[in-house]
Structure 1
Amino acid sequence: MANRLTATAFAALTAFTASTALAQQAPVWTVDHDKSRVGFIAQQSGNAVPGEFERFQTTIRFDRDNLEASSVDVRIAIASVTTGSLDRDQTIKSPNLFHAQKYPNARFQADSFRHAGGNTYIAEGKLTMRGTTHPIDLPFELEVTRDGDTLTAVADGEVTVKRLRWGIGKGQWQDTSMVPNDVVIEIDIHATRPAG
């Protein structure tokens, strides 16, 4: 009996050690924020309204051959929104929409990924906006190239979310006849890491 318990404990310890080592194997990527973009496309009165957030922080650990150990964490400064219209930017930051003063950041976190074929991957994560969190699946195309001792990755993806699900739309902005519920979130991330 004691031997069986010892063997079980040893197996559990070995599994834990292996999983810890696995998590440490996912390499860290350094994001080039000058080349990267986190943006969106909304609609207003039938016209597309593109915009982006100029400030965001990212922590990326990703390995195509070790998805179990991969993770991403993106924090977006709502006050950095720009749409080409100062009045529109102020409206987006106002209490009726994102309420940037009370909820200064949006956040996307994922530690589960799946390969969808070819260069397509899906990050299964959770998105927090205006203090509300819901799960989302973010599909993206990944291209990785090598130049000497440096790997460069470009991840390009988008997902459509329902803004009212996160409470983005109070008062007149709850009406979806002028501003539809659907908003497309876009990412274009450029990152590098040492090869090998």
Structure 2
Amino acid sequence: MRVSPALLSLLIAVAPAAAQAPAQMPKAPPGAPDTARIVAGNYAIEPHHTQVMFALDHLGFSVFRGFFSGVSGTLSLNPARVTDAKLSVTVPIASIFTTSPALNKELVEPDWFDAAQFPTATFVSTKITPGPNNMALIDGNLTLHGQTHPATIQARFHGAGKSMMGKGTAIGFDGRLALSRSSYGLGKGVPLVSDHVELTIAAAFEQQP
């Protein structure tokens, strides 16, 4: 079989890359719950590995849960001055997901979140208080459904280390936040569906250049 000069040139060009050994996966997770691994700097939320889960009582029979995704935000952090850290988070309301496609559609309509008029929820920190066992309280303002109220996230440092997705350090935190949804004009269904809502947050951050 005669190989054309053009094909031969292409094979020569790609041969070195093809001969390279495949990238080796690390033998252990690159992140660990060691605060000494935290590098001071500016970070951005890594949306593909950040989740916001909500949970509330449904008719007294069960705890009903759902998710928000596509979260964005920034974190400015210096481990030597944790109290100076700044956090800002934005959650797209239209990303809401439950086990019911019909409910997903209903929740973004005007009777509930009204995502067309209020497309995002935001949290902006005002004060950070470090605590024991890698815990911290993050006070701030939560804006939801067009209303803003003080809120506090109970945050736990989960881990830090060299990023596998970026060029710098990756860090992660777990958070808990409780709210009364009626305070934000979202009281439909109370008390059959509880007013009290628990948010669980898994947040991954990538260091920025």
Asked if TM exceeds 0.5, the reply is yes
Q: Secondary structure at the match of 1:55?
A: coil
Match of 1:102 in 2: 117
Query: Residues 6-45 of structure 1 correspond to what in structure 2 (within 5 A)?
Result: 27-45=41-59
1:183 to 197, 201, 205: 197
Which structure 2 residue ranges, 5 or more long, are not aligned?
Answer: 1-38
Q: Which amino acid aligns with 1:159?
A: L
**What is the rounded CA distance, in whole Å, between the counterparts of 2:111 and 2:171 in structure 1?**
37
Post-superposition, which runs of at least 4 consecutive aligned residues in structure 1 deviate over 3 A?
147-150
User: In the alignment, is the contact (CA less than 8 A) between 1:26 and 1:69 conserved in 2?
Assistant: no
Q: CA deviation at 1:57?
A: 1.3
Q: CA deviation at 1:160?
A: 1.4
Choose 1 or 2 for highest CA Rg: 2
**What is the rounded CA distance, in whole Å, between the counterparts of 1:160 and 1:103 in structure 2?**
20
Q: CA deviation at 1:127?
A: 0.3
Between Structure 1 and Structure 2, the one with more strand by share is: 1
User: In the alignment, is the contact (CA less than 8 A) between 2:48 and 2:70 conserved in 1?
Assistant: no
Identity value in percent: 21
**What is the rounded CA distance, in whole Å, between the counterparts of 2:73 and 2:203 in structure 1?**
10
Moved more, 126-135 or 144-153: 144-153
Q: CA deviation at 1:154?
A: 1.4
User: In the alignment, is the contact (CA less than 8 A) between 1:26 and 1:66 conserved in 2?
Assistant: no
TM-score w.r.t. the length of structure 1 is 0.77
**What is the rounded CA distance, in whole Å, between the counterparts of 2:113 and 2:162 in structure 1?**
41
**What is the rounded CA distance, in whole Å, between the counterparts of 1:86 and 1:132 in structure 2?**
27
Quickly say closer, same or farther: Cα 1:179–1:169, change in 2 above 3 A. Answer: same
**What is the rounded CA distance, in whole Å, between the counterparts of 1:151 and 1:163 in structure 2?**
36
TM-score w.r.t. the length of structure 2 is 0.73
Q: Secondary structure at the match of 2:99?
A: coil
1:119 to 100, 115, 134: 134
**What is the rounded CA distance, in whole Å, between the counterparts of 1:94 and 1:30 in structure 2?**
30
Match of 1:166 in 2: 184
Q: Secondary structure at the match of 1:66?
A: helix
**What is the rounded CA distance, in whole Å, between the counterparts of 1:26 and 1:129 in structure 2?**
30
Match of 2:149 in 1: 134
Aligned pairs, number: 167
**What is the rounded CA distance, in whole Å, between the counterparts of 2:170 and 2:72 in structure 1?**
18
1:88 paired with 2:103, answer: yes
**What is the rounded CA distance, in whole Å, between the counterparts of 1:60 and 1:84 in structure 2?**
31
Q: Which amino acid aligns with 2:177?
A: V
User: In the alignment, is the contact (CA less than 8 A) between 2:44 and 2:72 conserved in 1?
Assistant: no
Q: Deviations over 1:72-102 (max 9, x none)?
A: 1111110110012111112221222211111
User: In the alignment, is the contact (CA less than 8 A) between 1:26 and 1:70 conserved in 2?
Assistant: no
